[in-house]
């Protein structure tokens, strides 16, 4: 899943693809590099980010989705808002990637159900301005078991809204109300999420826990654009464990790593 951030303030590439033409061109680049689908988002969800107005989010994502959908791309809209999900699905998106799992606005569940869209339920405990507050970082039964339990609750909410099981994808939400250690535990325990019976999406690309792993001796985090090698190792690890998709910034690097791993699998 190639990432197209149509935002001025995303942590990795904020502002680079804010103009519609730039976002569409970036989508073309990711598809040429081998992306299977594109995730188009108009709201940064990095810690501390301020939410855009609904009108601004719509203006950012809908023209990009319309253009790429007309060209035959498979598209996901990364949004927590039912208004944006509705417009994006009408414009040609097929997937709603809701980082809040319906908690930010339950109306988005009905939108996904009414359109028969695939709906990604991510584990979430609060908006960007509050998600790293101390009370959101407590996992009473361990992070893997607790995230699994809370995802089950959101799955039931999606079902109650009319979303069928074959349209549900789950995401443990790396970096959202999680410490670096939590993120590593979720990755190592990813097979536990398969037990819920749904495809699993993972978004680890360029996130802070990788910057901490690769930090300089003085503690300075590795810059976001220099974390790709570590992320590619994670991508291979996840593919070998049956993850449905990984959400990535650098599609070519991820595809290259997967190609090498797959070649080795054919020889064994």
- pLDDT, tens digit, for every residue of 47-81? 777 888 999 999 999 999 999 999 999 999 999 99
With b for 16 or more beta-carbon neighbours within 10 A and e for fewer, the 179-206 pattern comes to ebebbbbbbebbeebeeeebbbbbbbbb
Residue of 167, 207, 222, 227 with catalytic role: 207
176: left (phi over 0), alpha (psi -120 to 50) or beta: beta
Residue of 247, 252, 263, 268 with catalytic role: 247
Across the range 226-245, mean pLDDT stands at 96
pLDDT above 90: percentage of residues in the chain: 86
Give the count of domains, the chain.
Answer: 1
Q: Model confidence over 120-145: pLDDT tens digits?
A: 999 999 887 777 887 788 999 999 99
Helix/strand/coil (H, E, C) string of 31-59? HHCCCCCEEEECCCCCCCCCCCCHHHHHH
Cα–Cα distance measured from residue 172 to residue 198, given in angstroms and rounded to the nearest whole number: 12
pLDDT above 70: percentage of residues in the chain: 97
Cα 248 to the chain's mean position, in Å?
8
Q: Are 131 and 104 in contact (CB under 8 A)?
A: no
Q: Model confidence over 156-204: pLDDT tens digits?
A: 999 999 999 999 999 999 999 999 999 999 999 999 999 999 999 999 9
pLDDT band at 46 (very low <50, low <70, confident <90, very high): confident
Q: Which stretch of 11-25, 107-121, 181-195, 241-255 has the lowest confidence by average pLDDT?
A: 11-25
Q: What is the CA radius of gyration of the chain?
A: 18
Question: Which range marks the domain in which residue 8 is found?
Answer: 2-267
pLDDT band at 8 (very low <50, low <70, confident <90, very high): confident
Cα–Cα distance measured from residue 193 to residue 195, given in angstroms and rounded to the nearest whole number: 5
Q: Using alpha carbons, select from 86, 155, 74 the residue that is nearest to residue 114.
A: 86
**pLDDT value at 14 more than 60:** no
| 207 carries an active-site annotation | yes
Average pLDDT, the chain: 94
Q: Model confidence over 253-267: pLDDT tens digits?
A: 999 999 999 999 999
Q: What is the pTM of this model?
A: 0.94
**Which pLDDT score is estimated for 121?**
98
**Which pLDDT score is estimated for 13?**
57
Q: Are 97 and 145 in contact (CB under 8 A)?
A: no
**Which pLDDT score is estimated for 126?**
86
Angle, alpha carbons 44-121-127 (nearest 5°): 35
**Which pLDDT score is estimated for 12?**
59
CATH number at residue 97: 3.20.20.20
**pLDDT value at 9 more than 70:** no
Cα–Cα distance measured from residue 38 to residue 31, given in angstroms and rounded to the nearest whole number: 8
| 178 carries an active-site annotation | no
């Amino acid at each position: 899943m190639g990432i197209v951030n149509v935002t001025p303030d995303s942590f990795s590439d904020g502002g680079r693809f804010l103009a519609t033409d730039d976002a569409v061109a970036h989508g073309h680049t990711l598809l040429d590099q081998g992306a299977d689908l594109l995730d188009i988002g108009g709201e940064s969800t990095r810690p501390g980010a301020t939410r855009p107005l609904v009108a601004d989010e719509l203006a950012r994502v809908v023209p990009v989705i319309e253009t790429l959908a007309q060209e035959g791309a498979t598209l996901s809209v990364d949004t927590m808002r039912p208004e944006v999900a509705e417009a994006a699905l009408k414009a040609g998106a097929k997937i709603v990637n809701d980082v809040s799992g319906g908690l930010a606005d339950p109306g988005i569940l009905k939108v996904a159900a009414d359109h028969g869209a695939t709906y990604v339920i991510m584990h979430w405990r609060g908006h960007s301005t509050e998600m790293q507050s101390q009370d959101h970082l407590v996992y009473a039964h361990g992070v893997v078991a607790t995230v699994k339990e809370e995802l089950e609750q959101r799955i039931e909410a999606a079902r109650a809204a009319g979303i069928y099981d074959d349209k549900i994808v789950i995401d443990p939400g790396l970096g959202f109300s999680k410490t670096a250690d939590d993120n590593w535990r979720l990755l190592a325990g990813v097979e536990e999420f398969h037990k819920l019976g749904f495809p699993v999406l993972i978004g680890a690309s360029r996130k802070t826990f990788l910057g901490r792993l690769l930090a300089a001796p003085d503690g300075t985090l590795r810059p976001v654009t220099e974390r790709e090698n570590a992320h590619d190792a994670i991508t291979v690890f996840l593919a070998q464990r049956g993850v449905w998709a990984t959400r990535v910034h650098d599609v070519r690097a991820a595809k290259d790593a997967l190609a090498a791993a797959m070649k080795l699998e054919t020889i064994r």
